């Protein structure tokens, strides 16, 4: 039996690891993970890669080595289509930097297929966004932002040293959700580290971050209390928060708002919502929703094809919200994690001829970290059945432990703890921030 998983992200890599250990290693099935990248970086950390507080080169998991250890095969490739009748996935040709072919366009057969290819930023067709804004959809994009940030700080330091006192680095972030809020705080931390490491002319006044949100408040998915607490902390750092402000266009000099205001910016990040990749829309006659997500049955098999599962951000999984309204399971790391466990369970049940279980999403709460300054959140489940609010160091600890839990899901606890120790050692032996 060939089980092909496309996408080694928050959900896909956990699933490949589980199935590799349970089936691949024992020779009960061939488990194949396909990803367009060689390495995995947990997506909720991309804003830290963008600011430099995380060095993805040190933290990334190499798929090929991980697969070797955990009983699955890794294939480098970008999915561009499926042939459901012939049960094959279609992968694009892979070219090197000089345009020479590394791998030809090819197909890979499957008996069971799992689509876990995540999401991309939704620019809602706002003019100029694709050309002038950076998205944080992938490590490559986060690195691109980081390089521009480094160049921006170096340029600014030089200008200030030459007596240009009006010069500032202006960053505009569109989208007041978790990504926008967390990135805003990270930029102030980056400024501190760059000053510590020699760019001494740059003071807090020389960084100008504007966070633009179309809705009435930041962090609309979280409570009013958390939202106003986060806004207060950001404003203390120096962030200019603009709510009820819709951006209508982006250009080389900055943004234009619906109210006619121009926001000048040297760097712009678009973090105003996600959708599944466009090529999934109605792929091979499969049903998709408005966000291009593949609509799934309660078992997480896509509607109309029991051989294909979808999980994570690319899956449209209907759910009834606590207030009784109908909606979709939110595109979050905890959803991808829970779905990966449910799909693993169902694939194993199906291999053993047992009935499949319906997936039930459990909201375990949300945490937002303002870099090392503070964190906010609400945890549900376990002892906190009705939910408890967290703030400050405890919230930050809970936030960091989410990543530890992802590492434990893919490496096991002993190795995850060793990695945590390595990180601590790295804080002593390496620069605290990625400076290049
Ligand atoms: C900056 C940022 C901060 C976030 N913070 C949080 C948070 O605090 N809490 C939270 O719950 N969620 C957070 N999220 C959302 C969370 O990261 C996603 O919901 C989660 O990663 C989805 O998991 P996934 O497995 O569906 O997809 P992903 O983790 O995105 O993985 C998709 C994988 O598919 C691969 N892929 C994509 N297209 C193709 C293709 N065509 N062919 C082959 N491979 C492909 C990608 O390379 C990637 O490895 C954040 C997201 C961002 C961007």
Does the beta carbon of 46 lie inside 6 Å of ligand 1? Answer: yes
For the segment 47-64, what is each residue's pLDDT rounded down to a tens digit? 999 999 999 888 899 999
CATH superfamily assigned to domain 129-270 = FAD/NAD(P)-binding domain (3.50.50.60)
**Beta strand pairing status for 101-103 and 94-95?**
antiparallel
Pocket of ligand 1 contains residue 313 by CB under 6 Å: yes
Q: Domain locations in the chain?
A: 2-119+276-351, 129-270, 365-429
Whether residue 370 has its Cβ less than 6 Å from ligand 1: no
> Which numbered atom of ligand 1 lies nearest the CA of 368?
8
* Nearest-10 Cα torsion for 51, 56, 59, 62: 160
CA 131 to ligand 1 centroid distance, Å: 22
Q: Is the CB of 4 under 6 A from ligand 1?
A: no
Q: Is the CB of 377 under 6 A from ligand 1?
A: no
CA–CA gap between residue 196 and residue 383 (Å, rounded) = 42
Taking the C-alpha atoms of residue 19 and residue 13, their distance in angstroms, rounded to an integer, is: 10
Distance 310 CA to ligand 1 centre (A): 14
Give residue 35's pLDDT.
98
Query: Residue of the nearest CA to atom 3 in ligand 1?
Result: 44
Q: How far is CA 185 from CA 49, 162, 266, 274, in A?
A: 13, 28, 18, 21
- Mutate which of 4, 6, 8, 9 for ligand 1? The one with the most ligand atoms within 8 Å of its CB, which is 9
**Looking at the domain that runs over 2-119+276-351, which CATH code has it been given?**
3.50.50.60
Instruction: Give distance in angstroms: CA of 236 to centre of ligand 1.
Output: 30
Q: Which numbered atom of ligand 1 lies nearest the CA of 142?
A: 1
Ligand 1: nearest atom to the Cα of 311: 26
pLDDT of residue 189: 96
Tens-place pLDDT, residues 57-93: 888 999 999 999 999 999 999 999 999 999 999 999 9
Do residues 328 and 387 make contact, with C-beta atoms less than 8 angstroms apart? no
- Nearest CA owner, ligand 1 atom 35: 7
Tell me, in angstroms, the distance from the centre of ligand 1 to residue 339's CA. 13
Ligand 1 atom nearest the C-alpha of 332 is 19
Ligand 1 atom closest to the Cα of residue 9 is: 31
Q: Do domains 2-119+276-351 and 129-270 have the same CATH topology?
A: yes
Cα radius of gyration rounded to whole Å, the chain: 22
- Among 105, 142, 278, 332, name the best residue to mutate to test ligand 1's pocket (greatest count of ligand atoms within 8 A of Cβ): 332
What spacing in Å lies between the alpha carbon of 45 and ligand 1's midpoint? Answer: 10
* Ligand 1 centroid, distance to 341 Cα (angstroms): 16
Kindly state if the Cβ of 108 falls inside 6 Å of ligand 1: no
Ligand 1 atom 5 nearest Cα = 44
Tally of residues, the chain = 436
**Pocket of ligand 1 contains residue 395 by CB under 6 Å:** no
Which stretches of the chain score pLDDT less than 70? 382-386
Ligand 1 lined by 274 (C-beta under 6 Å): no
Q: Is the CB of 47 under 6 A from ligand 1?
A: yes
Res 196: pLDDT: 94
Residue from 4, 7, 403 to probe ligand 1 pocket by mutation (most atoms less than 8 Å from CB): 7
Cβ of 114 closer than 6 Å to ligand 1, yes or no, is no
Q: Tokens in use for 153?
A: 């700080």
| Ligand 1 contact via 331 beta carbon (within 6 Å) | yes
């Amino acid at each position: 039996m060939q089980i092909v998983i496309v996408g080694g992200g928050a959900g896909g890599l956990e699933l490949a690891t589980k199935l590799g250990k349970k089936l691949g290693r024992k020779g009960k099935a061939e488990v194949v993970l396909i990803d367009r990248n060689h390495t995995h970086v947990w997506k909720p950390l991309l804003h830290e890669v963008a600011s430099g507080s995380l060095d993805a080169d040190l933290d990334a998991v190499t798929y090929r080595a991980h697969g070797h250890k955990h009983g699955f095969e890794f294939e480098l490739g970008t999915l561009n289509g499926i042939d459901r009748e012939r049960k094959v996935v279609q992968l694009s040709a892979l070219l090197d930097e000089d345009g020479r072919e590394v791998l030809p366009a090819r197909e890979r057969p499957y008996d069971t297929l799992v689509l876990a290819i995540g999401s991309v930023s939704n620019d809602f067709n706002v003019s100029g966004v694709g050309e002038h804004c950076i998205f944080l959809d992938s490590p490559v994009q986060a690195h691109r932002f980081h390089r521009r940030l480094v160049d921006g700080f170096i340029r600014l330091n030089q200008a200030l040293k030459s007596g240009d006192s009006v010069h500032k680095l202006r960053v505009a972030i569109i989208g007041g959700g978790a990504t926008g809020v967390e990135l805003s705080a990270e930029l102030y931390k980056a400024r501190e580290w760059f000053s510590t490491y020699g760019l001494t002319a740059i003071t807090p006044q020389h960084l100008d971050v504007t966070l633009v949100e179309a809705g009435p408040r930041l962090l609309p998915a979280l409570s009013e209390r958390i939202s106003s607490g986060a806004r207060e902390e950001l404003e203390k750092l120096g962030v200019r928060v603009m709510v009820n402000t819709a951006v209508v266009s982006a250009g080389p000099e900055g943004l234009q708002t619906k109210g006619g205001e121009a926001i000048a910016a040297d760097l712009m990040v678009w973090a105003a919502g996600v959708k599944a990749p466009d090529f999934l829309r109605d792929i091979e006659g499969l049903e998709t929703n408005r966000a291009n997500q593949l609509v799934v049955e309660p078992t997480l098999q896509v509607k109309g094809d029991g051989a294909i599962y979808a999980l994570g951000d690319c899956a449209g999984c209907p759910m009834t919200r606590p207030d009784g309204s109908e909606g979709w399971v939110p595109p979050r790391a905890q959803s991808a994690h829970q779905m990966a466990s449910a799909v693993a369970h169902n694939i194993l049940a199906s291999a053993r001829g047992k009935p499949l279980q319906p997936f039930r999403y459990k909201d375990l709460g949300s945490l937002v970290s303002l870099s090392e300054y503070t964190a906010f959140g609400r945890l549900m489940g376990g002892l906190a059945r009705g939910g408890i609010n967290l703030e400050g160091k405890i919230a930050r600890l809970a936030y960091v432990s989410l990543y530890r839990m992802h590492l434990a899901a893919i490496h096991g606890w002993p190795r995850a703890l060793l990695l945590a120790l390595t990180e601590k050692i790295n804080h002593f032996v390496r620069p605290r921030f990625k400076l290049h």
